[in-house]
Amino acid sequence: MKVFSFSLRAWMRYFGSPLFGIILYIVAFFLVSDESFEEYYISFGAWAYIYDVIIAIAWSAINLEISFIVSDALDKVLPWTTKPFWRFLTQSSLQLVLTILMLFGCLTSYIYVFHLEQWTEHDLTIIFIPTAIIAGLISLLVMGVNVGVLFFQRWQATQLEAEQLKQANLENQIQILTQQLDPHFLFNNFNTLSSLIEENPKSANQFLAKMSDVYRYVLLNRDQKVVTLKEELEMIEAYTHLLKERFGEHLQVAIDIALPQQRLSLPVLALQNLVENAVKHNIINAQNPLLITIRANKDLLAVENTFQPKLHAENSNKVGLKNIQDRYKLLSKKSIKVENKGQLFRVTLPLLDL
């Protein structure tokens, strides 16, 4: 999620205050049409216009700071999340009262700066009332913008937190799913190693070396979400050596993958899991040799094996294809494809360009 990082208050101070001040001045100038007010401009000329603009911008800046102070103070005693109606009523009332008091102070400064003691109560009323209405509306607008952006930033922070929690949960699920592969993998290979130690110590040493290579790969990549197909194929080469110690020539693994596809990625140990499942669930003997073919076409990796299922499959930790499918769901919107064509069983994995 993209986070828009900006300071509302800095923007309002540098741009909002002058803008609202000028708007207040322009609107008040055209609404207030009194002879005394016109005489004021004629008497003092350009200086009167300049002073008006300065006062309007200063009022806007002070009003803005008061809006921030009121908002911060009420956040502690009357937050929006608990009593939004009373918060709105309290903040808007305070904002309007303080706006009128500031406007009264600005008008008083006119009288003393320009010596306008001759202005009557009627003159002051005609100037004060429309200006107060405009100032009040602008003050409420400032409050609305401040509150609106506050809610947006809180919503954005909530969304970011939710996304971070989702990502953390995703990584945790992937780690759990990956770790589920380890016990069955170790169990099979330790059984094979135990048999080889008694029958053929030299082969046992070679087997142990390959087993170390495979398990080193598992340990190095257990915290990874994905690996390149090239890395997985290198591990499969060592892994098939282990399998051939158990099944000899009755097991054949053919790999046909071009270099460009090997740069793409897939969930760690996904390919090993498919090869292991093919061996686990199919008959492998002289009469029924098992052929596993691994090939890639564009961004798809197909793992095929001759389909000769055992009547009673080996005990499974129920990971298998569901494990791989679950990891693909967590990593991308792509899914695996499983096909059983009678004599041929095929699983197609999407290759990820990450």
Question: In this predicted structure, which of 37-41, 78-82, 229-233 has the lowest mean pLDDT?
Answer: 37-41
- Asked if pLDDT for residue 1 goes beyond 50, the answer is no
Decide if 297 contacts 341 (C-beta within 8 A): no
Return the pLDDT at 118.
56
pLDDT tens digit sequence for 56-83: 788 778 777 877 888 888 888 888 778 8
What does the DSSP 8-state code read for residue 181? T
Choose among 130, 102, 167: nearest CA to 330.
167
> Count of CB atoms within 10 A of residue 20's CB?
24
| pLDDT, position 125 | 65
For residue 140, what pLDDT is reported? 77
Instruction: Check if the beta carbon of residue 343 is closer than 8 Å to that of residue 336.
Output: no
Nearest 5°: CA angle at 255, between 252 and 261?
Answer: 160
Locus of tokens 């090869």: 275
pLDDT higher than threshold 50 for residue 4: no
As a whole number, mean pLDDT of residues 223-243 equals: 90
User: What confidence score (pLDDT) does residue 318 get?
Assistant: 46
pLDDT of residue 233: 95
Q: Are 22 and 57 in contact, with CB atoms under 8 Å apart?
A: yes
DSSP state of 309: B
Mind listing the pLDDT tens digit for each residue in 119-152? 556 556 666 677 677 777 777 777 777 777 777 7
Cα–Cα distance measured from residue 50 to residue 35, given in angstroms and rounded to the nearest whole number: 20
pTM of the full structure: 0.52
Burial string for 247-265 (b: 16+ CB within 10 Å, else e) reads beebbebeeebeeebbebb
What pLDDT, in 10s, does the model give residues 114-123? 555 555 565 5
pLDDT above 90 covers a percentage of the chain that reads: 21
Separation CA 278–CA 307 (nearest Å): 9
Mean pLDDT, rounded, for 3-27: 70
Q: Inform me whether the pLDDT recorded for 185 exceeds 70.
A: no
Is residue 254's pLDDT more than 90?
yes
Maximum Cα interatomic distance, the chain, rounded to a whole number of Å: 120
Residue 27: the pLDDT is 74
The closest of 107, 20, 114, 27 to 62, measured between CA atoms, is 20
Which is more confidently placed, 230 or 52? 230
Residue 66 structure tokens:
């008061």
Please, what is the average pLDDT of the chain? 78
DSSP H helical ranges for the chain: 8-11, 17-31, 35-44, 46-77, 84-113, 121-179, 182-199, 201-221, 229-247, 259-262, 270-281, 320-331
Q: Is the pLDDT of residue 262 over 90?
A: yes
pLDDT at 145: 74
Contact by Cβ (8 Å): 273, 311: no
Q: Which domains does the chain have, with CATH numbers?
A: 8-168 (no CATH), 180-350 (3.30.565.10)
Taking 50 as the threshold, does the pLDDT of residue 260 lie above it?
yes
14 pLDDT band (50/70/90 cuts)?
A: confident
Residue 53: the pLDDT is: 81
pLDDT in tens, 271-307: 988 998 898 889 999 999 999 999 999 899 999 999 9
